[in-house]
Amino acid sequence: MLRLTISILWPSFIAAGIGLGIIFTLVDPMELVVLGEHVRASRSAIYSLGFFVLWAITAMAAAMSAFLLTGKHPGDKTLGGEGD
Protein backbone atom coordinates (compact mmCIF):
# COMPACT_ATOMS: atom_id res chain seq x y z
CA MET A 1 0.00 0.00 0.00
CA LEU A 2 2.84 2.36 0.86
CA ARG A 3 4.45 1.80 -2.52
CA LEU A 4 1.18 2.31 -4.33
CA THR A 5 0.68 5.58 -2.45
CA ILE A 6 4.19 6.69 -3.28
CA SER A 7 3.87 5.81 -6.94
CA ILE A 8 0.76 7.98 -7.09
CA LEU A 9 1.94 10.93 -4.99
CA TRP A 10 5.53 11.18 -6.17
CA PRO A 11 5.17 11.47 -9.97
CA SER A 12 2.21 13.80 -9.48
CA PHE A 13 4.35 15.91 -7.14
CA ILE A 14 6.98 16.31 -9.86
CA ALA A 15 4.34 17.05 -12.49
CA ALA A 16 2.67 19.62 -10.23
CA GLY A 17 6.03 21.28 -9.60
CA ILE A 18 6.76 21.58 -13.32
CA GLY A 19 3.22 22.81 -13.99
CA LEU A 20 3.45 25.40 -11.24
CA GLY A 21 6.78 26.63 -12.58
CA ILE A 22 5.39 27.09 -16.07
CA ILE A 23 2.09 28.68 -15.02
CA PHE A 24 3.55 31.22 -12.62
CA THR A 25 6.42 32.10 -14.90
CA LEU A 26 3.89 33.15 -17.47
CA VAL A 27 1.26 34.56 -15.10
CA ASP A 28 1.88 36.94 -12.24
CA PRO A 29 -0.36 35.74 -9.38
CA MET A 30 -1.10 39.37 -8.57
CA GLU A 31 -2.88 39.61 -11.91
CA LEU A 32 -4.98 36.52 -11.31
CA VAL A 33 -8.69 37.01 -11.54
CA VAL A 34 -10.67 34.18 -10.02
CA LEU A 35 -14.42 34.22 -10.66
CA GLY A 36 -14.27 37.86 -11.60
CA GLU A 37 -12.41 38.96 -8.48
CA HIS A 38 -8.78 39.81 -7.98
CA VAL A 39 -7.22 37.36 -5.56
CA ARG A 40 -6.46 39.04 -2.27
CA ALA A 41 -3.56 36.95 -0.98
CA SER A 42 0.20 37.22 -0.94
CA ARG A 43 2.20 35.77 -3.81
CA SER A 44 3.72 33.10 -1.59
CA ALA A 45 0.25 32.01 -0.45
CA ILE A 46 -0.94 31.78 -4.06
CA TYR A 47 2.16 29.86 -5.12
CA SER A 48 1.75 27.42 -2.25
CA LEU A 49 -1.99 26.94 -2.62
CA GLY A 50 -1.60 26.73 -6.39
CA PHE A 51 0.91 23.97 -5.90
CA PHE A 52 -1.46 21.93 -3.77
CA VAL A 53 -4.37 22.42 -6.15
CA LEU A 54 -2.16 21.23 -9.02
CA TRP A 55 -0.82 18.36 -6.95
CA ALA A 56 -4.34 17.25 -6.10
CA ILE A 57 -5.30 17.24 -9.78
CA THR A 58 -2.16 15.44 -10.98
CA ALA A 59 -2.48 12.95 -8.11
CA MET A 60 -6.04 12.29 -9.19
CA ALA A 61 -4.83 11.47 -12.70
CA ALA A 62 -2.11 9.20 -11.32
CA ALA A 63 -4.60 7.49 -9.00
CA MET A 64 -6.95 6.86 -11.90
CA SER A 65 -4.11 5.33 -13.92
CA ALA A 66 -3.17 3.17 -10.96
CA PHE A 67 -6.77 2.11 -10.54
CA LEU A 68 -7.18 1.26 -14.20
CA LEU A 69 -3.96 -0.74 -14.21
CA THR A 70 -4.45 -2.68 -11.02
CA GLY A 71 -8.23 -2.83 -10.87
CA LYS A 72 -9.63 -6.22 -11.73
CA HIS A 73 -10.97 -6.54 -15.20
CA PRO A 74 -12.28 -9.77 -16.71
CA GLY A 75 -9.68 -11.44 -18.89
CA ASP A 76 -7.09 -8.79 -18.20
CA LYS A 77 -3.69 -10.31 -18.49
CA THR A 78 -1.69 -7.22 -19.34
CA LEU A 79 -0.84 -5.99 -15.89
CA GLY A 80 -1.29 -7.42 -12.49
CA GLY A 81 -1.59 -10.84 -14.06
CA GLU A 82 1.29 -12.98 -15.15
CA GLY A 83 1.67 -11.40 -18.62
CA ASP A 84 4.17 -8.78 -19.56
Binding segment for another protein among 32-40, 55-63, 67-75 (CB under 8 A)? 67-75
DSSP β-bridge partners for residue 34: 37
> Where on the phi/psi map is residue 35: left (φ > 0), alpha (ψ -120 to 50), or beta?
left
Please select the residue that binds another protein; options are 10, 56, 64, 68, rule is CB under 8 A.
10
User: In 3-state terms, what secondary structure has residue 81?
Assistant: coil
- Residue 4 in contact with another protein, rule: CB under 8 A: yes
Dihedral sign from CA coordinates of 40, 41, 43, 46: negative
Closest approach, Cβ 39 to another protein, in A, equals 14
In the complex, the residues that contact another protein under the rule CB under 8 A are: 1, 3-4, 6-7, 10-11, 14, 25-26, 28, 42-45, 47-48, 70, 72, 74-75, 77, 80-82
